[in-house]
Amino acid sequence: MSKEKHISETPATQLLRRHGVSFGEHPYDYIEHGGTAESATQLGVDEHHVVKTLVMEDEHAKPLIVLMHGDRTVSTKNLARQIGVKRIEPCKPEVASRHSGYLVGGTSPFNTKKAMPVYVEASILALERIYVNGGRRGYLVSLAPSVLSALLNARPVQCASVD
């Protein structure tokens, strides 16, 4: 894949353009189970700046999105405590896709099929620029983390644990 490849619009990029958000487009060769380590390596960026979009649910099966550094995992216990629910667990891939409208591995927090509360690891907001999925496998967009608060009303939490 050449880096100049034109990326067709996704629901995520449509929303970003509609709101006049400036973003960079970063296609890479998607590798099954490669995760953020693979995309960071291919794009030559720090994995800490690559943000994964995780669809999780509480004990009532209410979905939510957690945005986490690529090189960290979510402490579901800490997250549950901070948002006032009994427990949080990742959704099964098919359930996550149904909520988000995106394929797992290509989930963007922007313009999901179902409106869900978004929680962002607080330290992500301190970064200058982040790379987040643009709504397709093998496609990240880079933007200012303030967009997460502005467009998604993302609530800062502290729930990172080192992998």
Nearest to 39 by CA among 137, 126, 149: 137
Q: Which stretches in the chain have pLDDT values below 50?
A: 1-4
pLDDT at 2: 37
What was the pLDDT predicted at 127?
98
Tell me the C-alpha distance between 146 and 39, whole Å.
22
Q: Can you list the domains of the chain with their CATH numbers?
A: 46-136+144-162 (3.90.960.10)
Of 95, 128, 118, residue with least CA distance to 24: 128
How far is residue 132's CA from residue 110's CA, in Å, rounded to a whole number? Answer: 10
Percent of the chain at pLDDT exceeding 90: 93
For tokens 């973003």, name the residue.
Answer: 23
